[in-house]
Homo-oligomer: A and B are copies of this chain.
């Protein structure tokens, strides 16, 4: 009955479907999960190519423990290294490696392309502009 929850359902389906597309593309072409890709991306935007776990978690919208394990994955793949924070011995920096940067750069075009294609596939080419008309 509620128009609102009905629209919400549609929106979530579309978003989930597109996210799945992106995830599969990244996995297939680069062996990278969606969160992993986004983590690399975030790191690449950071001045020193490094972020603390919490910052990463906040940026990605993930739980702190999930990030801890994600970083473990990234580190196993050689895309990042952990670096102890000198000032605060509790803190841990995750630093993007050259390999990580290279991987990101190779994945980025595929990600962008897949996003554009998937949006189009779902007839949502103007969803993003519509969604953020008034955002800031």
Contact = CB atoms under 8 A, between A and B. Distances in A.
Given A9-B38, A11-B15, A16-B61, A127 B116 contact: no
What is the interface of chain A mostly: helix, strand, loop, or mixed? helix
Given A2-B112, A112-B2, A61 B128 contact: no
A115 B17 CA distance: 21
A9 B15 CA distance: 11
A111 interface: yes
17 contacts: A2-B112, A4-B112, A4-B115, A4-B119, A5-B112, A7-B129, A7-B132, A8-B119, A8-B128, A11-B128, A12-B19, A13-B61, A15-B15, A16-B61, A17-B61, A130-B131, A131-B131
Given A2-B112, A17-B61, A127-B131, 7 more contacts: A7-B131, A8-B18, A8-B119, A11-B15, A11-B128, A16-B61, A126-B134
Contacts of A28: none
A116 B11 contact: no
Contacts of A135: 10
A71 to B, nearest CB: 19
Nearest to A18: B8
A8 B119 CA distance: 10
Interface string A92-112: 000000000000000000011
